[in-house]
């Protein structure tokens, strides 16, 4: 277990009043203020427990730096979502204006360099493109396009015709991504994560080499390349020094969710650690499936000389003390962690519940009845949430909610940029931005009537060989059936490949060109048109085509109007969410489903100690989403899949190993439905004549 190196300020009573604090720091507790005001030579690690005001503390630290003379243009803030960066910007602006007493906008200026690792990486790669041998106009492909390109390369190498099963394009991309982000050898990744494909190690190496060559030929970078190229650039000492010298302060949010590449970039930016601040919670590291490793935050203090200073934020502003006591007991059994026990001033007599039910159907009925009971007690549906390990665990609950006519929203669904019509428009813009982007060109050309895959391939081969793509496009002789549409495409290409009008009028031209094709290809063109109008409005918010393409690829919207279903007419609805999607959220009442071995931990995540520990952290994250009420449900009986319809083969499950007997005093354990009291529910029976069935049975054989 790692020792806790909490600062002296953290040892003060939480009620201690700090009289000499500036007004803008007066609402911080002693631990938060120690983190905000730290000015040592060593890097700073802020261990921020769930609900401890992490975002507020980080925003105050940025603002404090600006107020005390730090150059706003030399502060780099790395977050894990664009929304988080924007929210941080707004908070910093408010704090700086409060400190200075005037509306200066200095806070907004402080975050000129703020965003996700991938967005900042893309920005720096464009600035250093010539030095790195990249085309400044490179395009960024999303996961779908990257998988399609992987499929093309896979097919060209003849790997799709193997007698034994070769991984699908999505699996190939997942393997490639895992190797890149973990920086582990391919053989190790295959052995630990994809053992059924270990026999294809050599073929996959050849596939990935050809995939990289195809991307470079087309001047395309995929999502993982943004980190990989950045990290590789940082291995050159002169480049690393130049990039690192641009920033006096580097601050990283959610450091427990970083992968090996991101950690290497950070250490190369600030090898001595001065000016480096990372914030995170090792107990909430739950994204190993994306390549994240909890080792980054656990090993951070010892990676520098002198070692990193550590501040622990242990006061929780979200949950009641009984809920925190139970969560502390669960995470206290972790094999390795930073020592911290969350505490709260919010007292309550209600312990979190562990509720034992017969099966999943009973579980659904319990949850729904509790939801309704708390709604009648004044707790709206939106203040309650049902959390689960995997998306399919909520099936029975969804059926019961629908039967009871209770509106609910389940996180997930088709992504906005995955809808066909939006992908079409984005492909046109990407291709005309970078004519060597083969996948975007392939999709664009096949929008034209009379042009199929073979003709599209001939066009793209001509563009690759030409020094001026536009001239090659104008010189191409299309099939007679495609001639009218071809002329319109060439006119559009002239306008966008050598733009004479300012952005976003270029995008308006693309939409105008695409509309006839939309009406020709889709019966529901009117519904889809709403999406195109939406993306046109989004385009107008960006200064250039390059920024629009980059940002929309790295941080896409999450819903599509023609696929999202009928909107709920009831303003109040219940939240259903996986635990991964619930991270960072909070509700007054939380119900955790299927707290049994096989579901939590998942039976697919018990192969190593590291996997089991991450599953333990998942339960901890679920528990710390609750403010006032927490119910953990334990179904005892699970019906076996792949049996005759309505068959009764079943197994009995045991309570999750993360809730052993030693932690149960922190919970109120009960079964549901409660057993009837003696005499309860019994009705007086009518007087009936006695029947001697035993003699009748014997008489059958006489």
Q: Can you give the pLDDT at residue 412?
A: 43
Q: For residues 549 and 322, which has the higher predicted lDDT (pLDDT)?
A: 322
Q: Is the pLDDT of residue 16 over 50?
A: no
Compute the radius of gyration of the chain from its Cα atoms.
30
Q: Is the pLDDT of residue 8 over 70?
A: no
Confidence of residue 17 (pLDDT cuts 50, 70, 90): very low
Question: Is 53 assigned a ligand-binding role in the annotation?
Answer: yes
For residues 501 and 617, what is the distance between their CA atoms, to the nearest angstrom? Answer: 53
What are the distances in angstroms from CA 625 to CA 322, 324, 600?
13, 10, 17
For residues 543 and 392, what is the distance between their CA atoms, to the nearest angstrom? Answer: 42
For residues 221 and 423, what is the distance between their CA atoms, to the nearest angstrom? Answer: 17
CB-CB neighbours of 678 under 10 Å: 6
Mean pLDDT of the region 390-406: 83
Confidence of residue 9 (pLDDT cuts 50, 70, 90): very low
Q: Can you give the pLDDT at residue 681?
A: 56
Mean pLDDT of the region 226-233: 92
For residues 205 and 200, what is the distance between their CA atoms, to the nearest angstrom? Answer: 9
Q: Is the pLDDT of residue 150 over 50?
A: yes
Q: Can you give the pLDDT at residue 10?
A: 37
Q: Can you give the pLDDT at residue 151?
A: 86
3-state helix, strand, coil in the chain (%, to 5): 50, 15, 35
Q: Can you give the pLDDT at residue 98?
A: 79
Question: Is 158 assigned a ligand-binding role in the annotation?
Answer: no
pLDDT above 90 as % of the chain: 21
Q: Can you give the pLDDT at residue 162?
A: 65
Residue that the structure tokens 């906005």 belong to: 416
Q: What is the mean pLDDT of the chain?
A: 82
Q: Is the pLDDT of residue 338 over 70?
A: no
Q: Can you give the pLDDT at residue 233?
A: 92
The bridge status of strand 249-252 relative to strand 408-410 is unpaired
Question: Is 121 assigned a ligand-binding role in the annotation?
Answer: no
What pLDDT, in 10s, does the model give residues 343-364?
788 888 889 999 999 888 899 9
For residues 464 and 557, what is the distance between their CA atoms, to the nearest angstrom? Answer: 32
Question: Is 602 assigned a ligand-binding role in the annotation?
Answer: no
Mean pLDDT of the region 213-232: 91
What pLDDT, in 10s, does the model give residues 530-578?
778 778 877 877 778 888 888 777 766 654 444 344 444 456 888 888 8
Confidence of residue 415 (pLDDT cuts 50, 70, 90): low
Least confident of 235-244, 499-508, 620-629: 499-508
Confidence of residue 387 (pLDDT cuts 50, 70, 90): very high
Report the DSSP beta bridge partners of residue 587: 626
- The 3 state secondary structure assigned to 286-338 is CCHHHCECCHHHHCHHHHCCCCCEEEEECECCCCCHHHHHHHHHHHCCCCCCE
Question: Is 54 assigned a ligand-binding role in the annotation?
Answer: yes
Q: 611 with 288: CB under 8 angstroms? A: yes
Secondary structure class of 587 (helix, strand, coil): strand
Q: 417 with 552: CB under 8 angstroms? A: yes
Q: Can you give the pLDDT at residue 472?
A: 84
Question: Is 52 assigned a ligand-binding role in the annotation?
Answer: yes
CB-CB neighbours of 573 under 10 Å: 16
pTM of structure = 0.73
Q: Is the pLDDT of residue 651 over 80?
A: no
Q: Can you give the pLDDT at residue 632?
A: 94
Q: Can you give the pLDDT at residue 559?
A: 46
Q: Is the pLDDT of residue 474 over 60?
A: yes
CB-CB neighbours of 390 under 10 Å: 15
> If you write DSSP's letter for every residue of 596-634 in order, what string do you get?
BTBBTTBTTS-SSHHHHHHHHHHHHHHHTTEEEEEEEEE
Nearest to 326 by CA among 47, 588, 622, 655: 622
Q: Can you give the pLDDT at residue 647?
A: 62
Nearest to 47 by CA among 327, 279, 335, 308: 279
Q: Can you give the pLDDT at residue 561?
A: 42
Q: Is the pLDDT of residue 164 over 80?
A: no
Q: Can you give the pLDDT at residue 206?
A: 93
Question: Is 51 assigned a ligand-binding role in the annotation?
Answer: yes
Question: Is 205 assigned a ligand-binding role in the annotation?
Answer: no
Using left for φ > 0, alpha for ψ between -120 and 50, and beta otherwise, residue 410 falls in beta
Least confident of 213-222, 367-376, 562-571: 562-571
Q: For residues 558 and 128, which has the higher predicted lDDT (pLDDT)?
A: 128
Q: Can you give the pLDDT at residue 250?
A: 93
Confidence of residue 529 (pLDDT cuts 50, 70, 90): confident
Mean pLDDT of the region 465-491: 85
For residues 430 and 433, what is the distance between their CA atoms, to the nearest angstrom? Answer: 5
Q: For residues 363 and 413, which has the higher predicted lDDT (pLDDT)?
A: 363
Q: Can you give the pLDDT at residue 643?
A: 60
CB-CB neighbours of 657 under 10 Å: 15
Confidence of residue 11 (pLDDT cuts 50, 70, 90): very low
Q: Is the pLDDT of residue 6 over 70?
A: no
């Amino acid at each position: 277990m790692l020792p806790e190196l909490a600062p002296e300020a953290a040892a003060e009573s939480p009620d201690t009043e700090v009289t000499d604090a500036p007004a803008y720091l007066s609402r911080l507790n002693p631990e938060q203020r120690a983190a905000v005001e730290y000015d040592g030579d060593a890097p700073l690690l802020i261990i921020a427990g769930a609900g401890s005001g992490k975002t507020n503390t980080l925003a105050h630290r940025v603002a404090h730096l600006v107020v005390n003379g730090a150059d706003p243009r030399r502060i780099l803030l790395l977050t894990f979502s664009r929304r988080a960066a924007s929210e941080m910007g707004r908070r910093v602006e408010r704090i700086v204006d409060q400190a200075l007493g005037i509306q200066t906008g200095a806070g907004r200026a402080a975050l000129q360099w703020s965003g996700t690792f991938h967005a900042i990486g893309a920005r720096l790669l464009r600035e250093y493109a010539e030095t790195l041998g990249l085309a400044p106009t490179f395009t960024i492909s999303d996961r779908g396009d990257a998988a399609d390109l992987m499929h093309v390369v896979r097919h060209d190498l003849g790997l799709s015709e193997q007698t034994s099963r070769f991984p699908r394009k999505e699996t190939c991309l997942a393997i490639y991504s895992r190797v890149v982000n973990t920086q582990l050898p391919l053989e190790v990744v295959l052995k630990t994560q994809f053992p059924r494909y270990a026999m294809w190690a050599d073929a996959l190496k050849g596939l990935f080499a050809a995939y990289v060559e195809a991307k470079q030929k087309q001047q395309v970078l995929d999502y993982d390349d943004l980190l990989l190229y950045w990290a590789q650039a940082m291995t050159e000492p002169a480049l690393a020094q130049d990039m690192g010298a641009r920033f006096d302060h580097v601050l990283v949010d959610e450091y427990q969710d970083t992968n090996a590449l991101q950690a290497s970039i950070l250490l190369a930016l600030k090898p001595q650690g001065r000016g480096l601040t990372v914030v995170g919670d090792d107990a909430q590291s739950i994204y190993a499936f994306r390549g994240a490793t909890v080792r980054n935050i656990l090993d951070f203090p010892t990676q520098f000389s002198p070692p990193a200073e550590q501040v622990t934020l242990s006061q929780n502003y979200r949950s009641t003390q009984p809920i925190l006591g139970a969560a502390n007991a669960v995470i206290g059994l972790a094999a390795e962690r930073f020592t911290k026990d969350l505490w709260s001033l919010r007292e309550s007599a209600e312990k979190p519940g562990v509720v034992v039910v017969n099966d999943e159907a009973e579980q659904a009925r319990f949850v729904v009845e509790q939801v309704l009971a708390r709604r009648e007690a004044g707790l709206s549906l939106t203040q309650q949430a049902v959390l689960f390990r995997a998306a399919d665990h909520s099936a029975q609950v969804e059926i019961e909610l629908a039967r009871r006519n209770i509106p609910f929203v389940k996180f997930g669904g088709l992504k906005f940029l995955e809808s066909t019509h939006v992908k079409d428009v984005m492909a046109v813009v990407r291709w005309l931005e970078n004519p060597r982007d083969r996948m975007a060109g392939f999709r664009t050309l096949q929008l034209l009537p009379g042009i199929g895959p073979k003709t599209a391939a001939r066009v793209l081969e001509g563009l690759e060989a030409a020094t001026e793509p536009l001239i090659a496009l104008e010189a191409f002789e299309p099939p007679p059936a495609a001639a009218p549409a071809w002329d319109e495409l060439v006119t559009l290409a002239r306008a966008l490949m050598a733009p004479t009008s300012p952005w976003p009028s270029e995008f308006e031209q693309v939409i105008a060109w695409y509309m006839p094709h939309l009406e020709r290809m889709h019966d529901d063109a009117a519904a889809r048109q709403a999406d195109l109008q939406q993306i046109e409005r989004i385009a107008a918010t960006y200064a250039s085509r390059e920024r629009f393409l980059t940002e929309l690829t790295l941080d896409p919207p999450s819903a599509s109007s023609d696929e999202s279903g009928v909107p709920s007419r009831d303003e109040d609805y219940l939240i259903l969410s996986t635990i991964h999607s619930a991270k960072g959220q909070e509700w007054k009442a939380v119900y955790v489903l299927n707290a049994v071995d096989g579901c939590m931990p998942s039976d697919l995540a018990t192969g190593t100690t590291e996997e089991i520990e991450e599953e333990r952290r998942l339960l901890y994250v679920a528990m710390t989403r609750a403010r006032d009420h927490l119910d953990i449900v334990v179904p005892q009986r699970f019906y076996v899949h792949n049996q005759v319809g309505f068959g009764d083969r079943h197994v009995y499950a045991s309570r999750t190993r993360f809730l052993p007997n030693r932690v149960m005093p922190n919970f109120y354990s009960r079964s549901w439905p409660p057993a009837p009291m003696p005499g309860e529910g019994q009705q007086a029976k009518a007087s009936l004549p006695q029947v001697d069935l035993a003699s009748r049975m014997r008489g059958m054989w006489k």
